[in-house]
Amino acid sequence: MMTDILKIKEVIKNSQKVTIISHYSPDGDALASQLALARGLEQIEIEISLINKDPIPDAYQFLKNWECIKPLEEIPDFASVIICVDCATWERTGYLKEQLIGEKTIVINIDHHISNTNFGHLNWVDPNAAATAELIYDLLGLLQVKIDKIIATSIYTGISTDTGSFLYENTTATTHIVVADLINRGADINLVRNSYYENINISKINLLKYGLNNLSFSVDNQVCWVAFTRDVFNNANATDADGEGLINHLKSISGVEVAIIFRETTSDTIKLSFRSKKWADVNQLASKYGGGGHPRAAGCTITGNLDSVVDGVINWVVQSIAQGGTSKFGWDNKCT
């Protein structure tokens, strides 16, 4: 765990301009962290620009000022202090280093992924935090910024979406204490529920229908997966964001320990999402293929055609489990 937190506080306090960037295919935590931090820093007279490689999914457009987040091409004068939030690596921003980082640039890395590479000049990486938004809450406190209703709603959204509504293992007592404070400060939990959880579009439901009709199982149902071709996504009129969360339906099935979703994004690029329920360390699993994340949630991208990637990965996962890889860190020893 890296904590340059006091230096981070000093650098931010002494900045007139800050650029905040998060990862491509942004999720609730990424966007909420950006927006909450931006609004907080504006209170202390810091000029902000907000960058994201990808468009903001409809599902998150209830977050106040979401439209201020733009791709780099639309931000001509980004700052020399760049804060990366919720990115385990610089590459997660989707930009090359030389596009944003000059000689005088200071990169501040604030994140909660255990796979974080400490790529910043200053790093605040805390895998015990349920969400990056939880760290933003702490940072704003340190900066003595007032958490208003809008900031509170953003941070609440980041924490709520990254914890599966306070159900995942990353949910701690601290998470609940932070959230209690956010609700005291006016976090609009009804807005989040109505706009996010109870506002699922038909494309996403169509993907879910396909997924549930095409489940595969192995090792006494301990491994469950589904593969999506590009055609399935196209026919459902679905975007990246519509694919999010489907994996939780697989994980929720009785007996399933490891859930995997394979998604063909080009003819030879397959994106994989992993979830585990109790013991399997899917961060290590995804790391084998150059990805990473958290022990219970991780991802990676593999080059190859869909069928052979599915075969290769499933064979390996099945073999690991069959060989008694029931210990938490069994993957590495048995399978490399």
Q: Which residues of the shown chain bind Mn ion in the complex (CB under 5 A)? A: 29, 86, 132, 162
Smallest gap from residue 198 Cβ to Mn ion (A): 22
Cβ distance to Mn ion smaller for residue 227 or 297:
297
d(C-alpha 127, C-alpha 204), whole Å:
30
Report yes or no: 265 and 292 within 8 Å, Cβ to Cβ: no
In this complex, which beta carbon is closest to Mn ion, that of residue 15 or of residue 22?
A: 22
DSSP per residue over 20-58, as a string? Answer: EE--SS--HHHHHHHHHHHHHHHHTT-EEEEE-SSPPPG
Sign of CA dihedral 58, 185, 145, 126: negative
Q: Which is nearer to Mn ion, 130 or 147 (CB)?
A: 130
Which strands make up the sheet holding 297-303, listed edge to edge? 216-218, 223-228, 258-266, 269-276, 297-303, 292-293
| Closest separation in Å from C-beta 53 to Mn ion | 16
C-alpha to C-alpha distance for 322 and 222, rounded to whole angstroms: 10
Q: How many CB atoms lie within 10 A of CB 187?
A: 25
CB nearer Mn ion, residue 133 or residue 246: 133
Smaller CB separation from Mn ion, 134 or 264: 134
Q: Are the beta carbons of 91 and 110 closer than 8 angstroms?
A: no
Q: How far is the CB of 122 from Mn ion (least distance, A)?
A: 19
Q: How far is the CB of 35 from Mn ion (least distance, A)?
A: 14
In whole angstroms, how close is the CB of 37 to Mn ion at the nearest point? 13
Q: What would the two tokens of residue 246 be?
A: 């489907």
What residue is closest to Mn ion based on CB?
29
- Min CB(20)–Mn ion separation in Å: 14
Kindly tell me which of 135 and 223 has the beta carbon lying closer to Mn ion: 135
Please state the closest distance from residue 229 (CB atom) to Mn ion, in A.
28
Retrieve residue 126's tokens: 């805390």
Choose between 19 and 34: whose C-beta lies nearer to Mn ion: 34
Q: Which is nearer to Mn ion, 116 or 284 (CB)?
A: 116
Distance, CA of 42 to CA of 82 (rounded, Å) = 15
Decide: 182 and 156 in contact? Cβ < 8 Å: yes
CB of 300 to Mn ion, least distance (A): 17
Please report, for the chain, how many H helices and E strands are present, in that order: 14, 13
